[in-house]
Structure 1
Amino acid sequence: MQLFDIRFSYMEITTVSLKSLLPYDRNAKLHPKAQVDQIAESIRRFGFNNPVLVDGDHTIIAGHGRVMAARHLGLDEIPVVVLSHLSDDEKRAYMLADNRIAEAGGWDSDLLSMELSDLKAIGMDLKVTGFTDHDWQGLLPEKLPSGERSDDHVPPLPAPGKTVSQPGDLWLMDGNRLLCGDSTKADDMTRLMNGQMADMVWTDPPYNVNYHGGTEGHLAIANDDMPEGEFLDFLLQVFRQVHTCSAAGCPLYVAYSDAESIPFRTALIQSGWKLSQTLVWAKHHFKLSRQDYQWQHEPVIYGWKEGAGHPWYGDRKQTSIMDANLVLDDMSHDELLKLAKAWQQVIATTVIRAKKPVASTDHPTMKPVALVLSMMMNSSRQGDLVLDPCGGSGTTLIAAQKTHRRSCLMEIDPVYCDVIVRRWQEFTGGQALHESTGKPFILQKEVA
């Protein structure tokens, strides 16, 4: 095949009558009216800066849309470049290549957002760029919902044997689903997902440290005290089921304990997940122990399911340190002062910050909503489905509710199923319904 002189000596822009141009009768590229209007507006605003490409007979090779826009504007003449060096077959191939190759390129979302925002700031109508205000708004980072005192409120635990939820119960809460079941079992996971695939996973599985914390009655977490081999097998089963129920590219966040780092990472890798980074939740307090360095952080594994590009909707200023409690705009003057003083203290912890410890009376390892919420906004969009196979106290559900996501939670313990449902009902004012019977979730004492 002949290679043409890169000096482009054959190119010359001339002006011809619009009436002399002939459309190619097998032009496969569509030009709907909305697009022609956009091209016309661009020509009106910026000028006819992109000449139409034609052959020696003035048959259009590239620029059918521009010709249609010129007619719409009532122009008599337009600039063209005559491509006399192409054979008939080459002209046909180039017509396709000119359109198809342009479609293959994507956009750098961060840079595009910056450009559109700058143009918007000076008052330019974004329509002349081919983008709309809706396009621009979709590129902007989702605004972090303000923190509320009620976000992390968890209802009291039900008395033993007094739970509304029973194994096998599936509760519907608007776009959210909660199954009192076992996330190691394929049948339970299939029922929970109801034919859907997860767009994101956030979960806080048992750490296998037999931790009770400051819960009422020292309530333990199910599957939190197993022999090493059994715990690895448990994690493998959970993460394999989650992998099966997740879309390609699905981001994954797993809170875990450094003491059990090996089984967590082994199970994730063997079940097919790509591990990318370890995030660090920096707490504002530590719980006194016999360790030389007091634990003031918890790690979170971040990765995704391979097979497609993983989504990222955050900016590039995110770091691996997640300070979930640090929402300065929501803090009072006294809280800010206490925080500043706490940072001035020098204490031998895993993170050099300190604050008096706060123990959960409802769940021994409960995570703050702000922690989950920030990761959720970085890795999912409104309307996406977030899966949590170890529902715990329902923090993932509340974070999804606040950010307009949907969620599917599995929780094996009927006690915590009741806690999750009550927490959602109190947070939203909504009413959970039993999937099979359609009956509402009502505490026994409320029936009398």
Structure 2
Amino acid sequence: MRRKRLKRHKYKKLNVSSLIPYASNARTHTDEQINQIAASIKEFGITNPILIDQEGGIIAGHGRVLALNKLGIDKTPCIELVDLTEAQRKGYVLADNQLALNAGWDLDMLKIELEGLNDLEFDLDLLGFENDFIDNLLEPDQNEGLTDEDAVPDAPETATTQPGDIWILGNHRLMCGDSTDTGAVMALMDGQKADMVFTDPPYGVEYQSNKRTKTAKFDKLKNDDQILDITAVLKACSTGWMFIWTSWKVQNLWIDSLNEFGYPTNMVIWHKPGGGIGDLKKTFYSDYEIALVWHRGTELCGKRIGSVWTINKDGATTYQHPTQKPVALGVEAIDKTTKHDSTVLDLFGGSGSTLIACEKTSRICYMMEIDPIYCDVIIQRWEEYTGNKAELLQQLDEVSNG
């Protein structure tokens, strides 16, 4: 029995303008998809010739032709499919699109490939996947705690922690000290430099809401009547991304204070559903906070996201610190800018939310908190969340004296 010979198709390079779209093409192409194809062509070149009939009619490649026009590319490789019947031509127009859709993904293997590309700092946007799909696939397993991640113990009346104490909390370190003291922060860091800074300094606006002035639970935040100079500390003890939370009222003062790092790369807006309680001036309540962001060193991990993050705030009755933030806020920033076992510096520990975020995401937190009371809160919070016990390492004077 004689084998049927495969048809010999012709390779040509033709003007894009000479190619004729198929009038009955049932495949649709959004502007977003054309932009993705154009980006792919810019990155990889023209790797897939346009399939045409003998009159230059497009059989497969309508989206690529639209992308080539968008890029202003005049000529493209084509393959002329010869001796197709009318039925074969019409059938192949549909088959070329549908057969690829019938394939699936080995998600475990796909995750490995995406992680490898991510490590090589390849732009995952060029792959054509939906943002949510890649984010969900690459989202690392998080360490669940024994308590609610946002649960914060009541502040004790008297402190166990003393100024200068350094505590070991699993992989993390907490020091009771002044975050503007470079020597103290270097003792906290123990020779390490942070891959990321995520911190919430006193805003310099004497932060007090109306509700909080009615209870002794919230004393005036320490150092909130000034903009603290932390430039020297950040230069000495960190290298990567910086998130500095602040108020719109004093954002320019912080930008000026940190001018050695240049102008912020970004501003992240934390949108808090449910808003706030406003103030006695009967003006609009505030339903957002801002973080000034400086990009230093590494690129974003995974696919890019927007700069407005909608994350529920802690319930008003759970607040133990005037500027307390939900753990999910830290997790979002940490996951997008660092990898497992990266180091994160928080110079103003507050109630310890950054430390819990690091515990959840397998990062290592170095935390400074000036108030011994809140150091005790942070320690108890971590112990209850993990079921482990913190250990007092030594005091700063012991560290300094070797």
Q: Please classify the TM superposition score into its range, dividing by the shorter chain length.
A: 0.5 to 0.7
- Give the letter for the 1:211 counterpart: Y
Q: How far does residue 301 in structure 1 lie from its aligned partner after superposition?
A: 1.0
Q: How far does residue 120 in structure 1 lie from its aligned partner after superposition?
A: 9.8
State the match for 1:240 in structure 2. 232
Change (3 A) 1:312 1:368: same
Which residue, 294, 312, 321 being the options, matches 2:308? 321
| Contact 1:216–1:362, Cα closer than 8 Å, also in 2 | no
Using the alignment, how far apart are the partners of 1:359 and 1:274 within structure 2? Answer: 37
State the match for 2:272 in structure 1. 283
Change (3 A) 1:251 1:165: same
State the match for 2:380 in structure 1. 422
Q: How far does residue 291 in structure 1 lie from its aligned partner after superposition?
A: 5.1
State the match for 2:241 in structure 1. 251
Using the alignment, how far apart are the partners of 2:267 and 2:344 within structure 1? Answer: 20
User: Per the alignment, in what secondary structure is the counterpart of residue 374 of structure 1?
Assistant: helix
Q: Are 1:272 and 2:230 an aligned pair?
A: no
Q: How many residues align?
A: 269
Change (3 A) 1:155 1:121: same
Identity %: 33
Q: How far does residue 136 in structure 1 lie from its aligned partner after superposition?
A: 4.1
Using the alignment, how far apart are the partners of 1:210 and 1:244 within structure 2? Answer: 28
State the match for 2:288 in structure 1. 297
Task: Map 1:351-390 to 2 at 5 A.
Answer: 358=316, 360-390=318-348
TM-score, scaled relative to structure 1? 0.55
State the match for 2:298 in structure 1. 310
User: Per the alignment, in what secondary structure is the counterpart of residue 295 of structure 2?
Assistant: strand
| Contact 2:188–2:366, Cα closer than 8 Å, also in 1 | yes
Q: How far does residue 218 in structure 1 lie from its aligned partner after superposition?
A: 2.7
Using the alignment, how far apart are the partners of 1:366 and 1:125 within structure 2? Answer: 38
Using the alignment, how far apart are the partners of 1:124 and 1:145 within structure 2? Answer: 19
Using the alignment, how far apart are the partners of 2:107 and 2:268 within structure 1? Answer: 40
User: Per the alignment, in what secondary structure is the counterpart of residue 418 of structure 1?
Assistant: helix
State the match for 2:179 in structure 1. 183
State the match for 1:217 in structure 2. 217
Using the alignment, how far apart are the partners of 1:124 and 1:391 within structure 2? Answer: 38
Q: Are 1:194 and 2:190 an aligned pair?
A: yes
Contiguous gaps of at least 5 residues in structure 1? 1-117, 127-131, 226-230, 327-355, 438-448
Q: Deviations over 1:272-297 (max 9, x none)?
A: 25511111111122113225322111
Change (3 A) 1:296 1:274: same
Contiguous gaps of at least 5 residues in structure 2? 1-100, 119-136, 396-402
Q: How far does residue 243 in structure 1 lie from its aligned partner after superposition?
A: 2.2
User: Per the alignment, in what secondary structure is the counterpart of residue 217 of structure 2?
Assistant: helix
- Give the letter for the 2:246 counterpart: Y
Using the alignment, how far apart are the partners of 1:324 and 1:207 within structure 2? Answer: 21
State the match for 1:404 in structure 2. 362
Using the alignment, how far apart are the partners of 2:241 and 2:315 within structure 1? Answer: 31
Q: Deviations over 1:187-219 (max 9, x none)?
A: 101101100010011000001222244365332
| Contact 1:216–1:361, Cα closer than 8 Å, also in 2 | no
Using the alignment, how far apart are the partners of 1:120 and 1:366 within structure 2? Answer: 48
User: Per the alignment, in what secondary structure is the counterpart of residue 187 of structure 1?
Assistant: helix
| Contact 1:144–1:374, Cα closer than 8 Å, also in 2 | no
TM-score, scaled relative to structure 2? 0.61
State the match for 1:114 in structure 2. none
Task: Map 1:3-18 to 2 at 5 A.
Answer: none
Which residue, 153, 156, 173 being the options, matches 2:154? 156
Q: How far does residue 121 in structure 1 lie from its aligned partner after superposition?
A: 3.9
Change (3 A) 1:124 1:287: closer
Task: Map 1:43-58 to 2 at 5 A.
Answer: none
| Contact 2:182–2:232, Cα closer than 8 Å, also in 1 | no
- Give the letter for the 2:218 counterpart: H
Change (3 A) 1:433 1:319: same
Change (3 A) 1:120 1:180: farther
Using the alignment, how far apart are the partners of 2:105 and 2:181 within structure 1? Answer: 57
Q: How far does residue 254 in structure 1 lie from its aligned partner after superposition?
A: 1.0
CA RMSD of aligned residues (A): 2.9
User: Per the alignment, in what secondary structure is the counterpart of residue 292 of structure 2?
Assistant: strand
Using the alignment, how far apart are the partners of 1:146 and 1:254 within structure 2? Answer: 25
Using the alignment, how far apart are the partners of 2:352 and 2:360 within structure 1? Answer: 13
